[in-house]
């Protein structure tokens, strides 16, 4: 009779081997996984310490970066001056070209006049003022031996001072900025800096002229000094004017820089009062006139007689038309014997030729 066997009897050994194989396989997998993740997953002290140190370094780096961002160095930031769009550049990092003006000089000779000198060099008489600032006080103030600067073109040679700008110079002289930049010898290049103690040419400009005026008072005063300061007119003239000397040779006519006429004649000739009036100045004048007489005619008019060799009147004296008041000469800033003669109306200098008879 065939013996019957149970399932376990028949397959128990196989099942045991299968279980052992499964456990062996699973153990190998777990070991592998632990190897792969041991750095990230192991909760040991060394890993924790490493993580903390990394975090500290990160925080320190972040703080250092933030601190650097807060400590910004502003020394290199351009500073705007006078609301200008051109920054005030650092002179150690920028150096522009300096002006290089080409001028010649001329030594004044006997009987020279500004008009004659200007014609000799093909420039306008006003340009003599532009190159020689001292002439702006009185354009006939030429003395033999004086050295004049002769400019190559018509205009003004400006002495650059601290604070000067192209815009300011253009406004001062009534020219455009472009004209100043365009003149080659100015060596102007962007950002068009000007350098003190240099000279820049202002093409086409005319220097402003200053003229001295005798003191004037609206009423009588006896506080006059020896030359006549403080004298008020006491009589009224005829309103007509005669030639102050017997000569008619004009050595310098009326023009912008010389609102008078110069009458050439030898030293010592009689000088006459052109009209009736009160002598308000009689004496030496430090502004180039030399010995000077001023007569106030009491009707808004005054006459000036300059470069005299002698004076025959005193301040406050009343003189009549045609009276001898002095003698012709060559005193003050003068390049030759002549009479400097002016007619003024309320201190406006008139063209004398149109008033003399």
Same domain, 60 and 119: no
Single out the residue of 279, 343, 335, 354 nearest to residue 110, CA to CA: 335
| Domain assignment present for 240 | no
The DSSP code for 146 is P
| Domain assignment present for 33 | yes
The structure tokens 């001062």 sit at: 172
User: 70, 86, 119 — which closes off a domain?
Assistant: 70
Specify the pTM.
0.65
| Domain assignment present for 23 | yes
The per-residue pLDDT for range 198-228, each reduced to its tens digit, is 999 999 999 988 889 988 765 444 445 566 6
Same domain, 119 and 194: yes
Q: What is the structure's pLDDT at 74? A: 53
| Domain assignment present for 332 | yes
Same domain, 114 and 197: yes
Q: Which of 33-47, 171-185, 237-251 has the lowest mean pLDDT?
A: 33-47
| Domain assignment present for 313 | yes
* Range 173-178 average pLDDT: 96
Q: Check which CATH number belongs to the domain holding 320 and give it.
A: 2.70.70.10
| Domain assignment present for 90 | no
pLDDT greater at residue 1 or residue 107 = 107
Number of domains in the chain: 3
Does the pLDDT at position 4 exceed 90?
A: no
Distance CA 114, CA 128 (A): 7
Same domain, 62 and 111: no
Query: Collapsing DSSP states into helix, strand and coil, what is residue 196?
Result: coil
Does the pLDDT at position 337 exceed 50?
A: yes
Same domain, 108 and 191: yes
Distance CA 221, CA 296 (A): 14
* Range 321-336 average pLDDT: 94
The pLDDT > 90 percentage for the chain reads 52
User: 142, 169, 203 — which closes off a domain?
Assistant: 203
Q: What is the structure's pLDDT at 172? A: 94
Q: Which of 30-34, 108-112, 307-311 has the lowest mean pLDDT?
A: 30-34
User: 28, 53, 70 — which closes off a domain?
Assistant: 70
In which band, very low, low, confident or very high, does the pLDDT at 144 lie, cut at 50, 70 and 90? confident
Range of the domain at 339: 250-354
Q: Which of 24-33, 235-244, 267-276, 297-306 has the lowest mean pLDDT?
A: 24-33
Beta strand 155-159 with 290-296 is: unpaired
Number of Cβ within a 10 Å radius of residue 330: 18
Q: Say if CB 289 and CB 306 are below 8 A apart.
A: yes
Beta-bridge mates of residue 262: 252, 340
What does the mean pLDDT of the chain come to? Answer: 80
Same domain, 194 and 284: no
The per-residue pLDDT for range 145-157, each reduced to its tens digit, is 889 999 999 999 9
pLDDT greater at residue 21 or residue 330 = 330
| Domain assignment present for 81 | no
Same domain, 254 and 350: yes
Q: What is the structure's pLDDT at 8? A: 61
Q: What is the structure's pLDDT at 19? A: 65
Q: Check which CATH number belongs to the domain holding 160 and give it.
A: 3.10.350.10
Q: CB neighbours of 209 closer than 8 A, spacing ≥ 6?
A: 129, 136, 137, 139, 256, 257
| Domain assignment present for 125 | yes
């Amino acid at each position: 009779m065939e013996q019957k066997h149970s399932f376990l009897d028949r397959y128990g050994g196989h099942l045991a081997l299968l279980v052992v194989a499964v456990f062996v396989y699973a153990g190998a997998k777990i070991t592998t996984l632990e190897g792969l993740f041991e750095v990230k997953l192991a909760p040991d002290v060394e890993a924790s310490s490493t993580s903390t140190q990394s975090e500290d370094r990160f925080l320190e780096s972040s703080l250092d970066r933030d601190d650097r961002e807060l400590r910004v160095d502003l020394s290199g930031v351009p500073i705007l001056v006078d609301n200008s769009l051109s920054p005030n550049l650092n002179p150690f990092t920028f150096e522009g070209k300096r002006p290089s003006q080409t001028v010649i000089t001329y030594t004044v000779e006997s009987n020279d006049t500004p008009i004659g000198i200007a014609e000799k060099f093909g420039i306008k008489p006003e340009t003599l003022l532009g190159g020689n600032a001292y002439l702006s006080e009185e354009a006939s103030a030429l003395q033999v031996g004086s050295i004049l600067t002769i400019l190559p073109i018509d205009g003004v040679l400006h002495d650059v001072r601290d604070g000067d700008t192209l815009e300011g110079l253009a406004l001062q002289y009534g020219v455009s900025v472009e004209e100043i930049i365009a003149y080659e010898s100015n060596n102007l290049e962007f950002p068009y800096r000007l350098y003190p103690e240099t000279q820049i040419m202002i093409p086409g400009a005319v220097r402003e002229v200053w003229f001295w005026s005798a003191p004037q008072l609206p009423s009588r005063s006896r506080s006059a000094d020896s030359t006549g300061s403080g004298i008020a007119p006491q009589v009224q003239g005829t309103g007509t004017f005669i030639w102050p000397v017997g000569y008619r040779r004009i050595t310098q006519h009326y023009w912008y820089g010389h609102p008078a006429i110069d009458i050439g004649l030898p030293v010592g000739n009689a000088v006459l009062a052109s009209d009736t009036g009160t002598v308000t100045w009689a004496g030496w004048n430090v502004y180039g006139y030399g010995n000077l007489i001023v007569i106030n005619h009491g009707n808004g008019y005054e006459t000036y007689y300059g470069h005299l060799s002698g004076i025959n009147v005193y301040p406050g004296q009343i003189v009549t038309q045609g009276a001898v008041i002095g003698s012709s000469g060559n005193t003050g800033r003068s390049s030759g014997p002549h009479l400097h003669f002016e007619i003024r109306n309320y201190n406006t200098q008139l063209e004398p030729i149109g008033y003399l008879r």
